[in-house]
Amino acid sequence: MKYQVNHPFKPIYDENSKILILGTIPSVKSRENNFYYGHPQNRFWKTIAGIFGTNLPEDNKKKIELLKNNGIALTDVLQSCLIEGSSDAAIKNGIPRNLDMIMKKSKINAIFCNGSKAHELYMKHNRDKYNLQVFCLPSTSPANAKYRLHALIEQWKIIKNYTLRPEDDGLRKLP
């Protein structure tokens, strides 16, 4: 049975955010845990910690610090939808989340979608709205068994090219 889900979390960002990572909509476990990527088997937080060489954040405050310290904004493409369980494939009647405030109050230079459904929904609702590069990264969901954690970290490392300041290791934004 499909049921209406309304996004329960505020976006995470600040004026120094350089990239925006987008999921689809919080899973049942994330809503129960009242925070992004709250399913214990989701590898999002392990992936982000692995990319930046930090310890896995143990609470939501530390997760927010990890994101903000590395120029990352985080939210989802959808504000609401009909869904059965937590399966992206079950999403129907998606209403897009308004991303304008994040874009106006930060320095976003690229968007990274966590999985193909997030990318599909972003392109459907926002394709021509923001003049930014949009990347589709492999989903960190436990349903994406094709990727082990080390492979996710390797694929997701591209975000560092967009979050580092020029004085950080001399890396520059990719063309």
Dump the DSSP string for 140-169.
Answer: -STT-TTS-HHHHHHHHGGGHHHHS-TTTT
Q: Of residues 34, 42, 98, 131, which has the active-site annotation?
A: 42
Closest-CA residue to 74 (of 82, 83, 66)? 66
CB-based contact 137:166 (threshold 8 Å)? no
How many Å separate Cα 109 from the centre of its chain? 14
CA 116 – CA 70 distance, rounded (Å): 24
Q: How many CB atoms lie within 10 A of CB 100?
A: 10
Task: Specify whether the CB–CB gap between 152 and 8 falls below 8 A.
Answer: no
Would residue 144 show up in a list of annotated catalytic residues for this protein? Answer: no
Q: Which two tokens stand for residue 134?
A: 């949009």
How far apart CA 5 and CA 25 sit, in angstroms, is: 8
Active site residues: 42
